[in-house]
A and B are shown apart, each in its own frame.
Chain A
């Protein structure tokens, strides 16, 4: 690389406005794509993490009828080399009668009810971490809490009640509601929650849960209801879960769905004097799901293989046992899936959506290349005489081309770095930006913008007096644009761009996808060099004699 190339590129970059515009264009395109991809990647990552943290690594499932002898199965599974813990649960849908509004008529909501054993469930999932109403775990956490955050004033009571899933003071069964099940909870800007009305703070209240048992023949039986003390609320971060899920104790869920242990009677025998048939055995309690967590170093797929074999052995053993009247379902009737497979329907479209977004927004890279091409075309036209001068002093076509290619490279690298920095700032603060958009603009913002508009208008008048057409035009456009922005800020009432009901999560992912940023930044540099290549080749082809005569 000749020395003059480096010197000219540096001077062309630092003494002109056009390359700054090109750098700004590349930076904005880069930032735009990185922000979109980072948010989408974060969203996908959240989805994957939430799947694993909410359901463990592998899920055995047999809805409605459930799996009998699940206690023995859990022990078998926990003995697997790749399993860390296993937990049974019953999942179903039901109705929850909420404690609001005030008065005799209360709201009733539908919910996905998970009846769990809190101790083993906490070992398989991150349930303990999702319990919301608990004191701060550290001084920093306490300082981060707002003055009126109810968590500042509560002791360990709600946390201990949640871990036991009962009101420890009275012994009554307890329920935990997803944070968004109750409309009384209102999310604050700092991510904390306050009850909309002070006395609607859920842990003080009771809810009534109604479940409908379904027989093995698929018929609906009489519904059963039970009242639970709301001992706490959970915040998983997955809006769909926090909006719909209610946790109750496993035993209560089994009883309400008639999946608990029950006597088996011989209906073909003679009934006794009271009309009761003789009891010939016991039908064991059932769980509709068993969640299994993998040991560190074991993948979900490896664990799934072990679980499939373990279930087959469990089934063979239980089926061959003549003492058991109730047999576990055959392996083909039980679904065994990894968390990834269970979320496939959700993750698949999101992955596709992310790819599509990357493709769509990568088109901005082509726009960027086109913009660079146009700008460089203009630069080459403007520098035609310089090209002639350089050729006269002995510079070859390659040297001339290298100047403009290197110029494009410098613009691409500067734009990619600035764009990546800009994206990093936006992604890190995306939730604050979103909150700001959701609120009315502060007075200083619109008043300051109007003040700037007034300065620009004064500049326009000054340029008019000096008879500068360009100055008058630019200052006038600036004044009008600023006045427009000021009016927009003044009239802005706030809008919700990220609806958690649509995007599953309560907050926008704010982690930079550095792998994607590297690829996008490199793409921006390549696009810039490609955009510069055509004008550079044109510059190299310019006849030096014509270039020297160029006016």
Chain B
């Protein structure tokens, strides 16, 4: 059974009075432990497909299934829990919270996912996990720094640490190197490769075929459909 599956999904956005069909029946299967790259040009719908797989959005038609269960039919609360427990997102522009320091940014998924009592009980363990991740990514000396004080590569490594905080089943990376220079981008890809080697399932969106080549499998998206 695939870990994640999109079947004939359609998604149309409304821009003012104009309706823009972005996905026109795209289908994709992601098996456990697989690194899949979704390759496409700008406007091909690759980020929209990633958002549907990650439960950030719902398709107009078709289904998105996680371990065979349609997440498109999840209640809003269950969909929130799906994102929190099973998915980790990494974005092109890092998307760290500017008021929080590196350690707090990393712990955010855990903070969102636990109640106050559980936080009180597991605080030490959560903090240790965040510190261990940051240490693994070479950021142990930056835990008290704010995102504005970090380089682009450091920010993206914090974003990856945040995405891995809750031990997700799948990491969704949207152009993870798109805002970085070649050397730093390569280091980030290597970080992702390490996680993949450790068994993590990755769905990565990119428009760069050289970057896509790092994945196990490349899915070409053209004009809202898988080619």
Interface residues of chain A, those whose CB is within 8 Å of chain B, are: 1-4, 7-8, 11-12, 15-16, 385-386, 388-397, 399, 543-545, 548
Asked if residues A390 and B112 are in contact (CB atoms below 8 Å), the reply is yes
Could you tell me if A393 and B76 are in contact, using CB atoms closer than 8 angstroms? Answer: no
A40 to chain B, nearest CB (A): 43
Render B87-120 as a binary contact track against A, CB cut-off 8 A, 1 for contact: 0010100011111100010001101111110010
Contact check, B111 vs A7: say whether CB atoms are below 8 A apart.
yes
A-B contacts, 19 listed (Cβ < 8 Å): A2-B111, A3-B111, A4-B111, A7-B100, A8-B97, A12-B99, A16-B99, A385-B95, A386-B97, A390-B112, A392-B56, A393-B108, A394-B81, A394-B109, A395-B80, A396-B80, A399-B112, A544-B56, A548-B91
Most buried by B among A388, A392, A396, A548: A392
Query: Chain B's interface: helix, strand, loop or mixed, by majority?
Result: helix
Which residues from chain B contact A392 at a C-beta distance below 8 Å? 54, 56, 83, 89, 91, 95
Residues of A contacting B109 in the complex (Cβ-Cβ under 8 angstroms): 393-394
Taking the complex as formed, is B162 at the interface, i.e. its CB lies under 8 A from any CB of chain A? yes
- The CA-CA distance from A545 to B14 in the complex, in Å, is 13
CB nearest to A12 among chain B residues: B99
A15 to B148, CA, bound (A): 13
The verdict on B177 contacting chain A, using a C-beta distance below 8 Å, is no
Bound state CA distance, A365 and B135, in angstroms?
51
Contacts of B83 in A (CB 8 A): 391-394
Q: A2 contacts which chain B residues (CB < 8 A)?
A: 111-112, 114-116
Residue B51 is within 8 A (CB to CB) of chain A in the complex: yes
List, in ascending order, chain A residues with CB within 8 A of B54's CB: 392
In the complex, chain B residues whose CB is within 8 Å of the CB of A8: 97, 99-100
Taking chain A's interface residues, is the majority helix, strand, or loop, or is none over half, making it mixed? helix
Of A16, A385, A388, A393, the residue contacting B162 (CB under 8 A) is A393
* Pairs A-B, 8 closest by C-beta atoms: A394-B84, A11-B99, A4-B111, A396-B80, A3-B111, A393-B109, A394-B83, A3-B119
Minimal beta-carbon separation of A547 from chain B (angstroms): 10
In the complex, the chain A residue whose C-beta lies closest to that of B96 is: A389
Contact of A394 among B51, B80, B98 (CB under 8 A): B80
CB distance from B42 to the nearest CB of A (A): 13
A358 to B89, CA, bound (A): 53
Contact B119–A389 (Cβ < 8 Å): no
- CB neighbours (8 Å) of A15 from chain B are 99
Give complex CA distance A4, B123 in Å.
Answer: 13
CB distance from B114 to the nearest CB of A (A): 7
Complex-state Cα separation, A548 to B97, whole angstroms: 12
- Report the Cα distance A256→B115, complex, angstroms: 87
| Contact with B112, one of A386, A393, A397, A543 (Cβ below 8 angstroms) | A393
Give the distance to chain A from B124, nearest Cβ to Cβ, in Å.
Answer: 14
